[in-house]
Amino acid sequence: MNKANELNLVAPSLQLATEFIWREAELLDRKDYKQWSDLWSETGRYVVPIDPDTTDFEATLNYAYDDARMRAMRIERLTSGHSVSAVDAARTVRTVSRFTEASSDADVIEVCSAQILVAYKRERHTLFAADLTHRLRFTQGGIRIEQKVVRLINSTDSLNALGFLL
């Protein structure tokens, strides 16, 4: 009997992971950062690397490399009204598609996908395109994000203050 069955867990599947990632996208578009924060494992990392090919996020420069503490601080900045970029934050609509399973075991699945995000602010639309990688752990408490990597296709260009999470 595998570990997932012993704990009465649902085994990781691409379908469940896809639905979870779509839910995450909805929370981000609604700027429901509290519920988004609840999706994460305590050791989870939110990463937006500059180098499009890096896998050593700790040793390279990133736009974001957030553990739980840094995610909480980022959410506080986005919701407190004290950040200029967040006060007049853009409205966003994102589409996530092209889901493929990169790997999986008894309770973890890694899913690659593509994201197109349109941000609207001050009568102007801005497009963000990225390849996403989610490492998701299936637990008794539900699915938790262990790592989310957002590889912007223009990551080596300058990135203006966003005022929202990718």
CA-based nearest residue to 45, from 67, 25, 73: 67
* Enclosing H/E stretch for 114: strand 108-121
Q: Has domain 3-152 been given CATH number 3.10.450.50?
A: yes
Mean pLDDT, to the nearest integer, of 118-138? 94
Mean pLDDT, to the nearest integer, of 138-161? 92
- Over 70: is that where the pLDDT of 87 sits? no
pTM of the shown model? 0.90
Average pLDDT over all residues of the chain: 90
Q: What percent of the chain has pLDDT over 90?
A: 77
Tokens 């080596």 correspond to 156
Q: Could you tell me if 67 and 47 are in contact, meaning their C-beta atoms sit under 8 angstroms apart?
A: no
